Amino acid sequence: MVRHGHASGQLHFDRTAVEGVYVVETLQHSDQRGSFRRLWCRQEADAAHVRGEIVQTSLSVTARRGTLRGMHFQLPPSREDKVVTCVRGRIFDVALDLRPRSASYLRHVGVELAENEPRALYIPAGCAHGFLTLTDDCAVLYMMTDYYSPSLSCGVRWDDPAFGIAWPEEPKEILERDARYPDFDPRTVDGFAEY
């Protein structure tokens, strides 16, 4: 990984094998009261050449270990980048590149995120996102650079052989919609060529 950031910064952006996807390492300050960490900073993102202004924040709470959420994305004209962090429990978080012009097209990166590990995953527009809960009672915080639009909401199947995602365990629970996405058809993401 290549690290971007500066000594006085709270955030460090580590490149992954997927173009534009970063593991965001944050400094956590702890004392007798507990801990404190910055989740996002526009100035530090700009310094690392990471684009996007956060406009929406959501919290996903999942009761059971082995629940898979994903693989979701917004179709154009959405330009939804995401910053995802786990604030309770532990998850295996995946970003999948669906941008035809990207050097990492159809490649993915999987990262474990946990409440006691101060890091997040930055996922640019044109990538699908999903996660598998590795503990009961998980809470995942999403910060997005575009507003959610149900009419642009789409997805690909978590176990599609076109992607070969190596999940750490077999999902026990998944929405029927997410389990039944058809085999990947590149025409689904033709609009991602502009990314």
Q: Give residue 79's Cα distance to chain centre.
A: 14
Residue ranges with strand state E in the chain:
3-4, 11-15, 22-26, 28-31, 34-37, 56-62, 67-74, 82-88, 90-97, 108-114, 119-123, 127-133, 138-144, 153-155, 173-174
Contacts of 105 (CB under 8 A, 6+ apart): 97, 98, 99
51 bridge partner residues: none
Contact 25, 11 (CB under 8 A): yes
Active site residue 195: no
**Cα 91 to the chain's mean position, in Å?**
11
Contact yes or no for 19/102 (Cβ under 8 A): yes
Check if 29 is active-site: no
Catalytic position from the list 142, 147, 181, 195: 142
Which of 72, 122, 148, 195 is labelled catalytic? 72
Q: Which residues of 168-182 are buried (b: 16+ CB within 10 A; e: fewer)?
A: eeebeebeeebeebe
Residue 40 tokens, joined: 């996002």
In the Cβ-directed half-sphere of 13, how many Cα atoms lie within 13 Å?
21
As annotated, the active-site residues are: 72, 142
